[in-house]
Amino acid sequence: MKTTINLPDGLADMAKRRAAERGCTFTALVVEGLHHVLSEVSEVRRAPLPIWGSASDQVLVDPADKEALGSALDADGWK
């Protein structure tokens, strides 16, 4: 597939030099870079939030809901 991308002059020049050093085409270098970046995205995992106490006494609250968060903290004895 043919496509057009706009790159900053300095970046395009660096990429062309790197492709020449590696003995590959500019396109091959771009394809390799895209494969690398796209494979990293799929490997990103978020760490689970820590849990204190037992699973039965967990309070699940949406931190964006200030009222619910305040109520949960008040119920737990936080001041």
Q: Give tens-digit pLDDT for 33-69.
A: 999 888 875 555 667 766 666 656 665 777 788 888 7
Q: Which of 27, 8, 5, 6 is nearest to 16 (CA)?
A: 27
C-alpha–C-alpha distance, residues 50 and 27, integer Å: 45
Give the Cα-Cα-Cα angle 51, 56, 61 (nearest 5 degrees).
60
Question: Residue 24 — pLDDT band, cuts 50, 70, 90?
Answer: very high
Give the Cα-Cα-Cα angle 72, 75, 78 (nearest 5 degrees).
85
Q: What mean pLDDT value characterizes the chain?
A: 81
pLDDT at 57: 61
Q: Which of 57, 56, 49, 50 is nearest to 76 (CA)?
A: 57
In the predicted structure, residue 28 carries a pLDDT above the cut 80: yes
Question: Residue 70 — pLDDT band, cuts 50, 70, 90?
Answer: confident
pLDDT at 53: 63
